[in-house]
A and B are shown apart, each in its own frame.
Chain A
Amino acid sequence: MKTKKYRILLLSLLCCLLILSCEDFVEIDPPNFKIVSQTVFENDETAISAVTGIYNELINSDFSNGYISSITVLAGMSPDIFEIRSETDNRYGPFQQNQISPAESPDASANYNLWSSAYGIIYMANSVLEGLEHSTTITDDIREMLMGQALFIRSFTYFYLTNLYGDVPLVLTTDFHQNASASRNASSEVLEQIVNDLNLALTRLEGTDAYKDSERFNVNRYVVLAFTARVYLYQQNWQKASELSSQVISQTSMYEILEDLDQVFLANSREAIWQLSPIGKGNILTYTWEGYVFRGNNSSPFKLSDDFVASLQEKDKRRTHWIGYNSSKNFFYPHKYKDKMSINHITEYSMVLRLSEQYLIRAEANAQQGKISEGIADLDKIRQRANLDLIADTNPGIGKEELLNAIMAERKLELFSEWGHRWFDLKRTGKASEVLASIKPLWQDTDVLFPIPGEDRAKNSNLSQNDGY
């Protein structure tokens, strides 16, 4: 009797054990390497990290890293500065010949990488903006600063997108259900958003004059001012462009044109307004991608065109300091960055905005407004450093058009191999066809815009293609 009771008791206990296989068992905590998004924006420290994350990623992100799918390399190939070294190069060749495929070829995948990485950064900025907006626990000052920085980075990215592709989808949220079928917004609309956001960023960054930790990869108010000056220049808002660039140039305690050309691209150089640090790569390789991609070794896929090199005068310091020569294969390559292979030893940061451009912006804006002498002064600032004759000495009576042409020529020599300046200059001044048709046999007027990548068009039928593709 007793044993039977005992057995039944045991049995019911076992049954309970079996059935009690509680549903809580399969709940798991987030793993050691993930922080739930909501938590990220609950305190200042992690919220700051989310923005630091964007700075870090800018040097890993294809469009901005200066590497093989970056604006520096791909938009660098499009105008009249670079040439490919192998006739059969099917990655850079089509960019150089302005014959980019929308899909299924090495050049198309480069174009796709550029495009999609830019939207990756935009997603990160949107995610930060949304997180900060919804957070109730974050310090107000920090919120202002971080939102200002995120707005800037988003505008910065859109500026390049619209300049490369024309109309682009204006994605301002992280909601993929909605964004997956977004169609292209007119470039004017995109630009309007850019200008509004930049002005908003300026307000939010009002108290942020100094670089956080004295590191010029952090965004302060002058970074935004300098970039907004460029946006106004592209919009031909000469007055604003000159006004904002003046604000940057006048910060002499922070910025100056460095006499020694070998120092310009060093980390936190005083000519730098905004740089990206190789520390964001997160590995032991501490060189910039520009330093690596333009190292000019025998297998380098591209070279500076002989015409471009010839356009630099013998005495031009930029020729000796910023251009390298590979004697075994007999070609020239950009040599602004000296560090090509360092390990655990950062000397250079990747330059995004520098003071020299601000002088050229103001020179152009002033010249356009008929302020010729001011224009000459700013242009000569750059020429002087390059060891060239000053316009003020050789041609003080220069006319407006001639001065503008001189500024344009100077921009080409000064800013080559940096962020596609030449390509965008030719486009914004409407001179792309005029200049390029003669040297690019396959040139068509529609080549001023890159094709919208076929991969994304296949997944979103609302994305239209640019003309000519």
Chain B
Amino acid sequence: MKNNHVNTCIRKIAIPIFILAYSFYLPLFAHSPMGTLGISPPYEPIQQDYLIQGIVTDIDSPLPGVNILIKGTARGTLSDMEGAYGLRVSSTDTLVFSYVGYRTLTIAVHGLKKLDVILQSEATQLQEVEVNAGYYTVKDKERTGSISKINGKEIELQPIVSPLEALQGRMAGVEVIQQNGIPGSAPIIRIRGQNSLRSEGNYPLYIIDGVPIISTPVTGGSNMFSNGIDPLSSLNLANIESIEVLKDADATAIYGSRGANGVVLITTKKGKGYNRKTELEAHLYSGLGTVSNKMDLVNTQQYISIRKAALENDGREPNEIADYDLLLWNQNGYTDWQEVLFGGTSTISDFNVSASGGNSTTSFRLGGSFHNEGTVFPGDNGYQKVTGGLQLNHTSEDKRLNLDFTLNYGVDRIDVMANSSNLIRTAISLPPNAPHVYNEDGSLNWEDWTYSAWDNPLAAVLHRTSTDQGNSIIANLGLSIHLFKGLTFRTNMGYTNLQRDYKALLSKDQYSPEIREGANHIAVVTQRNRSSWILEPQLVYTKKIGKGTLDGLLGSTFQQNENKNLNVSGAGFVTESLMGDLSAAKAISVDNNDQIKYKYNAIFARLGYNFEHKYFINLTGRRDGSSRFGPNKRFANFWAIGGSWIFSEENFIKKHLPFLSFGKLRGSYGITGNDQIADYGYLDAYEATPGPNGLYPTQLTNPDYSWEENKKLEAAIELGFIEDRINLGLSWYRNRSSNQLVGFPLPTITGFSSVQANLPATVQNMGWEIELTSLNVNSNNFRWQTFFNLTVPNNKLLNFPNIDLTSYANTYRVGYPLNISLLYQYEGVDPETGLYRVMDVNEDGRYDYEDRTVIKNTGSRYFGGLNNNLTYKGLEFQFLLQFVKHEGYMNYMGLPGQKNTQTADFYKAWQNGNNPNIQKASETYNASIAHSLFFLSEQSLADASFIRLKTLGLSYALPEVPLQKIGLRSCKLFLQGQNLITLTGYNGFNVEFPGGNNIPALRTVTLGAQFNF
């Protein structure tokens, strides 16, 4: 049944997509200024020889002596001292550029008269790669800061919604936790740990093509999204060229306080360069997803035996009011509630198309995508995303003026249940013999549920629906003018707008018929709008001084963010069908309608000096101003210094350590600020009360608080062996974050429980990061690369004077990480009572925080990934193993003996009540107290370490020759798997986010094809 359904779905989706693809394709090329694609270009009809010219360069200089051959012939030439070449070709020829130490490049000439190519160095490929350092780019080899990068190629085909999920396991120092398997959920991302005591003060900066995106998740919609919706959800993954993460002081300093928690730079794909024929790329995939893990729970017989044991232990006869599960419910009935509530199969399909090309002064890239995904929940839920993007690059004839315009537009829509966060909890607590959800006629069964403590769980799923629609636009115009030798003026003008409209329809049909009459249909509408603009004029200067090069940058930033929220609810609709129309509500209330502004201003300067490509120094200084502080505290100065030494360039190293092909020492230190606090906090002000005509003070005000301070220190060594086939990077970092901006806790006799203030507390994040890449095999047909990364973080609260007097007294402990659990010491089962016992440390007869003396670290001890890429001819095989070592809570299971299910492991251990180490089944008050203390004891934590086959990709590139006959340049078939296998000893639900009542990441398999025309 299911399979049939899926097949139909795929057919339903795939066919229109193909039609769509071809209808895109035709008009696009009819208007293309660059001519067309394919084998027989319409206006280059004469297949006679003509002269093609061009320049061959590597990343920064011309390459002389490059061998240029016409494919399939012996005709060719060499490039001259300036890298220039000229060759007579016919328009259907393909040129092969080869040069020792560089990757061979094959390009079809397509009738072009001018073809400049850039060759990529092969041996030192990894280090020659340019990385985006924000306001400037730097060769990976020469960088002074700590920057990790992944290429768009690695993520474009992954069936995921948020680009951040793609970082999992791929970058050292970057921890991404996917709390929730619902598409669009915001993952938690921490770059080198948690710096701020405030959980909302730890968001990194997101920059898309130079435009900052507010990185806090979008909340206020359905609470199925534990952490809100990802503000990046409407990006097109296939449109990402690269993602760079800036980590240390040197790299982040250029972003100042905004980069205090690290920077995620997302660069979208640009046109492939000037003088290119129009090329079309398309891919299409579809597949299936299911929840990657379910809990192993008891069956009905096992459940009943625990229940009966409880009644016996409590000396109670069952009665219909308390024990309906034993007397009224079917004693042989069984329902797998996890299957019913989130056991569905989600169908995924994705279509992406892009075209790029360019003439001698303008190049473009145009792309669009469609992504559709179901959910694993019952009911009409799903996720859809449509995106469009445009990149235009223009250069003046004399190359003095450059214009880059980027526009990314995305719309996505998430349909899930509204506020049913208990759904997962329900699935792992409902007794297995609870009644059927449907009657025989297909209507919801209410009758059998009435006398129970539960409502039919499907009622809340089917009758509390919501839609969250996002609209995002990110536009940026970059302008650069070459003023005179060495000096360029640049400016960056960006605008972004994200609108999310949430609408929840809470039908009164969610209630059982007897109370339905008195209830109301309720509709909730929440609109959230975030817009920001940025203007960044800069002067860039480069000059050769002596044997070195000096790079200077002077710039300033003007940025304004605006947040608008509107939350309206309406109740008392006459019929369910009118619920979409708020004006049909009997009563309307506006719960929130605020408008918040944030302004940020900075002047910054960077000075880099590079001596003989051996010694590098990089200085950054800046003055930041933020509207989040009171008038006298707005501005502060920050700085950073970074340096590196490529010691392998030294003669004595070359002589004594010949096996070392590359060696670099790198270090940085800097101070930056953090202003991630609520806006207007310094303002002594009144707000409107919820009731009419009233005003009231809503906070205590302290106009004197100021910037948080982050001091970052890093030392690193980078080594290359065997012609750089093995590259090893080892970094040590220590970030200390002090002057913590927190709600300073106050006794509520002051009117409030806290006031915003700088606390002299210091959080330290120290750690080791290892990145290893190795080209294991590199023969003509077979190539095998391995990438490994490992992070060993160590987070610690260094000091916090008078912590005992603050509300953090029971959250943090000085000398321990921020992620800790304070737990009771477990003493085993009391043989007299048969109940769990925890230690009353101070023997005062009460159990409180003074007795919770066991401190457990629930943060990651280490994490990382192992990625392998194997290619054999057209066949490519890739797999990424992600691993995390951490401890976490077990999923809370209800009191054994009460009307709630248990894990199969519990049943096994329980041994029909004969295991003296397990609490006896009982429903008494004391049993329930003992059980809840047990879940606050050290026993509630378990090792939740795991190794996960995060991604697996298999692709096959069809041979090019037959393809060309049908007008395709290339075609690749691929298979992608996500979260296929997880190895863990943890028996809870979501190993990534242990103890949470969220569905774990989905296990998906997709199949697709990628075409180049």
Binding site for B on A (CB under 8 A): 4, 7, 10-11, 14-15, 17-19, 21-23, 25-38, 40, 46, 49-50, 52-57, 59-60, 87-88, 101, 103-104, 112, 115-116, 119-120, 122-124, 126-127, 169, 171, 174, 176, 179-180, 182, 277, 279-284, 341, 343-344, 453-461, 463
A35 to B696, alpha carbons, bound, how many Å? 10
Known contacts A31-B595, A32-B595, A37-B685, A180 near B746 by CB under 8 Å: yes
* 27 A-B interface contacts by CB (under 8 A): A11-B489, A19-B556, A21-B556, A27-B627, A33-B594, A33-B595, A33-B688, A40-B695, A52-B689, A56-B689, A57-B689, A60-B691, A116-B749, A119-B750, A123-B750, A169-B749, A171-B749, A176-B752, A179-B749, A179-B751, A279-B692, A280-B689, A282-B689, A456-B749, A458-B804, A458-B807, A459-B805
Known contacts A30-B680, A30-B685, A49 near B748 by CB under 8 Å: no
Decide if B572 touches A343 in the complex (CB within 8 Å).
yes
Decide if B696 touches A50 in the complex (CB within 8 Å).
yes
B854 within 8 Å of A (CB atoms):
no
Decide if B755 touches A176 in the complex (CB within 8 Å).
yes
B693 within 8 Å of A (CB atoms):
yes
Q: Which of B409-417, B584-592, B609-617 contacts A (4 or more CB under 8 A)?
A: B584-592
Contact partners of B41 in chain A: CB under 8 A: none
B809 within 8 Å of A (CB atoms):
yes
Decide if B750 touches A344 in the complex (CB within 8 Å).
no
Decide if A120 touches B597 in the complex (CB within 8 Å).
no
Q: Which of B225-233, B598-606, B640-648, B990-998 contacts A (4 or more CB under 8 A)?
A: B598-606
Known contacts A88-B925, A176-B700, A37 near B627 by CB under 8 Å: no
* Shortest distance between the CB of A30 and any CB in chain B (Å): 6
A33 partner, pick from B569, B684, B687, B849, beta carbons under 8 A: B687
Contact partners of A30 in chain B: CB under 8 A: 680, 683, 685
Contact partners of B748 in chain A: CB under 8 A: 112, 115-116, 119-120, 453, 455-456
A34 to B697, alpha carbons, bound, how many Å? 9
Instruction: Give the total of B residues in contact with A, Cβ under 8 Å.
Output: 80
Decide if B848 touches A11 in the complex (CB within 8 Å).
no
* Shortest distance between the CB of A422 and any CB in chain B (Å): 26
A277 to B746, alpha carbons, bound, how many Å? 31
Contact partners of B601 in chain A: CB under 8 A: 21-23, 25-26
A179 to B174, alpha carbons, bound, how many Å? 43
For the complex with contacts A33-B595, A456-B749, 18 further pairs of A-B residues with Cβ separation under 8 Å are A19-B603, A26-B625, A26-B634, A27-B631, A31-B596, A40-B695, A50-B695, A52-B689, A55-B694, A56-B696, A87-B925, A119-B750, A279-B691, A282-B690, A284-B571, A344-B587, A459-B747, A459-B805
Known contacts A171-B749, A176-B750, A284 near B589 by CB under 8 Å: yes
Known contacts A281-B690, A284-B569, A458-B809, A124 near B680 by CB under 8 Å: no
Contact partners of B539 in chain A: CB under 8 A: 11, 14-15, 18
A283 to B591, alpha carbons, bound, how many Å? 7
B594 partner, pick from A32, A182, A343, beta carbons under 8 A: A32
Contact partners of A344 in chain B: CB under 8 A: 571-572, 586-587
Contact partners of A18 in chain B: CB under 8 A: 537-539, 554-556, 603
Decide if A171 touches B750 in the complex (CB within 8 Å).
yes
Decide if A123 touches B697 in the complex (CB within 8 Å).
yes
Contact partners of B747 in chain A: CB under 8 A: 179-180, 182, 455-457, 459-460, 463
Contact partners of B537 in chain A: CB under 8 A: 14, 17-18
A343 to B587, alpha carbons, bound, how many Å? 7
* Shortest distance between the CB of B853 and any CB in chain A (Å): 15
Specify the chain A residue showing the minimal Cβ separation from B923: A88
Binding site for A on B (CB under 8 A): 483-484, 487, 489, 518-520, 537-539, 554-558, 569-572, 586-589, 591, 593-603, 625-627, 631, 634-635, 679-680, 683-697, 700, 745-753, 755, 804-807, 809, 846-849, 925, 928
A432 to B655, alpha carbons, bound, how many Å? 95
Contact partners of A19 in chain B: CB under 8 A: 556, 603
A461 to B745, alpha carbons, bound, how many Å? 13
Contact partners of B591 in chain A: CB under 8 A: 282-283
Specify the chain B residue showing the minimal Cβ separation from A175: B750
B600 partner, pick from A26, A101, A282, beta carbons under 8 A: A26
A27 to B632, alpha carbons, bound, how many Å? 11
A445 to B631, alpha carbons, bound, how many Å? 55
Decide if A56 touches B746 in the complex (CB within 8 Å).
no
Contact partners of A120 in chain B: CB under 8 A: 748, 751-752
Specify the chain B residue showing the minimal Cβ separation from A21: B556
Contact partners of B697 in chain A: CB under 8 A: 37, 123-124, 127
* Shortest distance between the CB of B203 and any CB in chain A (Å): 20
Decide if A461 touches B696 in the complex (CB within 8 Å).
no
Decide if A282 touches B691 in the complex (CB within 8 Å).
yes
Decide if A282 touches B589 in the complex (CB within 8 Å).
yes
* Shortest distance between the CB of A122 and any CB in chain B (Å): 7
A372 to B602, alpha carbons, bound, how many Å? 82
Known contacts A28-B599, A101-B846, A124-B696, A284 near B587 by CB under 8 Å: yes
Decide if A283 touches B625 in the complex (CB within 8 Å).
no
Contact partners of A169 in chain B: CB under 8 A: 749
A442 to B688, alpha carbons, bound, how many Å? 46
Decide if A35 touches B750 in the complex (CB within 8 Å).
no
B593 partner, pick from A17, A23, A33, A455, beta carbons under 8 A: A33
A179 to B696, alpha carbons, bound, how many Å? 19
Decide if B684 touches A38 in the complex (CB within 8 Å).
yes
Contact partners of A127 in chain B: CB under 8 A: 697, 751
A34 partner, pick from B556, B683, B807, B847, beta carbons under 8 A: B683
Contact partners of A17 in chain B: CB under 8 A: 537, 556
Contact partners of A57 in chain B: CB under 8 A: 689, 691, 694, 696
Contact partners of B805 in chain A: CB under 8 A: 458-461
Contact partners of B489 in chain A: CB under 8 A: 11, 14
* Shortest distance between the CB of A89 and any CB in chain B (Å): 9
Decide if A31 touches B487 in the complex (CB within 8 Å).
no
Contact partners of B694 in chain A: CB under 8 A: 49-50, 52-57, 280
Decide if B751 touches A123 in the complex (CB within 8 Å).
yes
Contact partners of B693 in chain A: CB under 8 A: 49, 52, 56
Contact partners of B809 in chain A: CB under 8 A: 458
Known contacts A25-B625, A37-B686, A49 near B595 by CB under 8 Å: no
Contact partners of A116 in chain B: CB under 8 A: 748-749, 753
* Shortest distance between the CB of B841 and any CB in chain A (Å): 14
Decide if B571 touches A35 in the complex (CB within 8 Å).
no
A52 to B750, alpha carbons, bound, how many Å? 21
- Which 3 interchain pairs have the tightest Cβ spacing? A123-B751, A282-B690, A56-B691
Decide if A26 touches B603 in the complex (CB within 8 Å).
no
A282 partner, pick from B557, B586, B692, B752, beta carbons under 8 A: B692
Decide if A124 touches B751 in the complex (CB within 8 Å).
yes
A341 to B522, alpha carbons, bound, how many Å? 14
A455 partner, pick from B483, B557, B627, B807, beta carbons under 8 A: B807
Specify the chain A residue showing the minimal Cβ separation from B895: A88
Specify the chain A residue showing the minimal Cβ separation from B623: A21
* Shortest distance between the CB of B656 and any CB in chain A (Å): 48
Decide if A35 touches B625 in the complex (CB within 8 Å).
no
* Shortest distance between the CB of B323 and any CB in chain A (Å): 15
Contact partners of A32 in chain B: CB under 8 A: 593-595
Decide if A122 touches B599 in the complex (CB within 8 Å).
no
Contact partners of A460 in chain B: CB under 8 A: 747, 749, 805
